[in-house]
Amino acid sequence: MAEADWTYLNDGLDIATVDRGVTAGIDRPPGGGNFLFAFNSLAAVEGAVALFANLVDFAPMAKGASIRGCIQRGPGGGPTGFSPFFFLSCQGNSVNDIAYLLGLSDDDPHRIVLRKGMVVAGIPDSEGPGALLASGESFAQGTWLHLRLDVIVNDNGDVVLKVFRNDLDAHALGTPPDWQPVSGMAEFIDDHLGINSGSQPLTSGRGGFGVAVKDVTRRAFFDHIELMRQV
């Protein structure tokens, strides 16, 4: 996807608060290209900034989707106070809308977490409100992770959520990924009765990526993002 294929969600932090854009100044993940997308918070303000794919049939997508990409909690002013994430099934075009978020928790060390909630909250921690699944393994700041979230809408209205990880050391970008389930993150069924998550499942919506911040010089990096819709 090109830069023009992405639009910022409304109500996000402005560029004077969180700088953002494509850069060659950061080390890319193994096999990465010449550039990546980075966020850098410039003020101690709480909020989020996120982009969604604005292509035809993607804004919104009528059913589920799959998003894959490389993500890192970059070194900066501290190990906490921020969380980068991918999102799917966002219910509107604002960071205040609800979505499924897969990202890196605001912990030190951090975990891979699947959460259902407002985009603006990001991934507060591995056991916070709306957390559905968390990885058994934790990771140090500055670690590149190649993650995938599948949101599959079944005919009965249930939504099946699956999380995978590709080992970049063994399968660098540019080679076929080897998607494996993340330890501790078994398949989650967001049932149409609202029992498992406490609310009705999200059966359509927008997909993209972003970061939630609470402090200054918090940095998040993304590369090789792919988005596919369920048909």
Read off the DSSP letter of residue 144.
-
C-alpha dihedral, 189 to 125 to 215 to 41, nearest 10°: -40
| pTM over 0.85, yes/no | yes
- pLDDT, one tens digit per residue, over 1-22 is 667 899 999 999 999 999 999 9
- The separation between CA 66 and the C-alpha centre of its own chain, rounded to angstroms, equals 11
Q: Is the pLDDT of residue 40 over 80?
A: yes
pLDDT of residue 9: 98
Please tell me whether residue 36 adopts helix, strand or coil conformation: strand
Rounded Cα distance between 44 and 41, Å, is 8
Closest CA to 83 of 125, 51, 54, 34: 125
- pLDDT, one tens digit per residue, over 135-159 is 999 999 999 999 999 999 999 999 9
Mean pLDDT of 174-197: 97
Q: Given this structure, which CATH class describes domain 3-229?
A: mainly beta
